[in-house]
Chain A
């Protein structure tokens, strides 16, 4: 019991200290840009009401979910295709490396040309930015399929869809998950940036609107919300991943031997 309390204390001590430092450090602040934390926290529930969450945060999240889903499907599909053929891989690898090296946010102006400034543009931007880490990680994962397992599959006559599902995707899944984790943080960045360019609603749009109208505490509350959102999504991702890849993490632990 005391050990749990001690760990809890350790985990909470620094955040509490930082929070207190921020609170006290800005308590009497008359710097226009750095308002007292008290004001920000008072504004938070006033700014982010249910109506606003529904009108601005929900559309952002729906666009993120749509773009991310498209990216995962396209990335895994193309990744399996590219990864399975040695020749295809050799032809496409430099091209893929180049496209991955392009900073995703510069896609926004390009995609605005094709898709205008509506929701389609934002979904396409998110999908186009997220697809590269997933694609390249899938290629790596598919390439690294265990040779013994592949031979076993062949000698048992497992081929076609069941080979794909039980051997290729299964053994590539830790890599795919790593790519999806990278893609998630890129997706959040692109969600915000595409809304900063051109939008009539959304989280990024609202925060920039606050900044332009010099509603500074409101802007800070938006930054806080965005931070909380990023945290919530990464916790959610980790939960899903540890569920889906429980077999892999267990195997890793077993291979490393008893914990030191």
Chain B
């Protein structure tokens, strides 16, 4: 309830501010004009196809990054030699800002969806990989040795010992990656001009349609909130057996 009043307060503030001398209505349109612009956007077919483009780029990029991150993480994490070999390379590649790849993406793919995908996959891959590596390191040695002495093969040990241990970490990685993927998808569209919500914001900005620009930014924020909520729900569902979700267990 209190949270709703906070939201209402912000809406009211944005409605009142443009009428005062603090900010001009040209820069910050009052709430009702943003709402009207949002209504126009929703009625426009171009908006929905832009939203669709953004979501497709987000989903495809995230899926590639998650699958690649999990596979690479488990393989690297399970083999000590590989872990020692790759540690320095991962530490080196991870901090490279994904936006450094923007000029390259433009040259290679122009304004096609592949440019967006390149940035999304690069940025979200590291989030997943790092978490999976932490997760694999967290395997209880006693459980692992028990599995070995019961004669479980390599595959069975990955399936029944390693995977359940790593799953909470994997889910954290996926949640982080989902947020990062949205940021990078919108950024790529905004800067490169690949089709999607980002390029629609860029168009609204250059044609001085300030209210529509704010409306679209609100949409990206809502999208971000929705992705966060879905990711949390998926995490709770996948970890429903885990004590962090089940809560306190009486011993």
Contact = CB atoms under 8 A, between A and B. Distances in A.
Interface of A: 7, 10-15, 18, 33, 87, 90-95, 97-106, 108-110, 112-114, 185, 188-189, 192-193, 196-197, 204, 207-208, 210-211, 216, 219-220, 222-223, 226-227, 230-231, 233-234, 260
B221 A91 contact: no
B39 interface: no
Contact of B221 (A99, A193, A231, A260): A99
Given A233-B95, A260-B141, A109 B88 contact: no
B94 to A, nearest CB: 8
A101 B183 CA distance: 9
Contacts of A94: 3-4, 6-7
A127 B210 CA distance: 22
A98 B221 contact: yes
Contact of A15 (B5, B89, B103, B141): B89
A113 B10 contact: no
A91 B5 CA distance: 6
Given A113-B27, A189-B97, 11 more contacts: A91-B5, A105-B191, A189-B99, A189-B187, A192-B97, A193-B187, A196-B99, A223-B101, A226-B97, A230-B96, A231-B92
B229 to A, nearest CB: 10
A231 B179 CA distance: 22
Interface string B95-123: 11111111110111000000000000000
B18 interface: no
Interface string B208-225: 001001101100111111
Of residues B99, B216, B224, which shows the largest number of chain A Cβ atoms within 10 Å of its Cβ? B99
B3 A93 contact: yes
Interface of B: 2-7, 9-10, 23, 26-27, 84-89, 92, 94-104, 106-108, 141, 179, 182-183, 186-187, 190-191, 198, 201-202, 205, 210, 213-214, 216-217, 220-225, 227-228
Contacts of A7: 84
Given A14-B85, A102-B221, A230 B95 contact: yes
B221 A230 contact: no
A226 B23 contact: no
B89 A14 contact: yes
A109 B201 contact: yes
B96 A95 contact: no
Contacts of A15: 88-89, 92
A193 B182 contact: no
Nearest to B94: A234
A86 to B, nearest CB: 10
Contacts of A10: 84-85
Contact of A219 (B23, B103, B217, B223): B103
A223 to B, nearest CB: 5
Given A14-B89, A210-B103, A110 B214 contact: yes
Nearest to A225: B100
Nearest to A114: B27
B7 A216 contact: no
Nearest to A220: B104
A31 B217 CA distance: 39
A223 B183 contact: no
Q: Give the one of A99, A101, A112, A219 with max B CB within 10 A.
A: A101
B224 A185 contact: no
A94 B4 CA distance: 8
B87 A11 contact: yes
Contact of B100 (A97, A113, A227): A227
Given A185-B97, A230-B95, A14 B88 contact: yes
Which of A106, A185, A189, A222 is packed against the most chain B CB atoms within 10 Å?
A106
Contacts of B95: 185, 227, 230-231, 233-234
A105 B183 contact: yes
Contacts of A193: 99, 187, 191
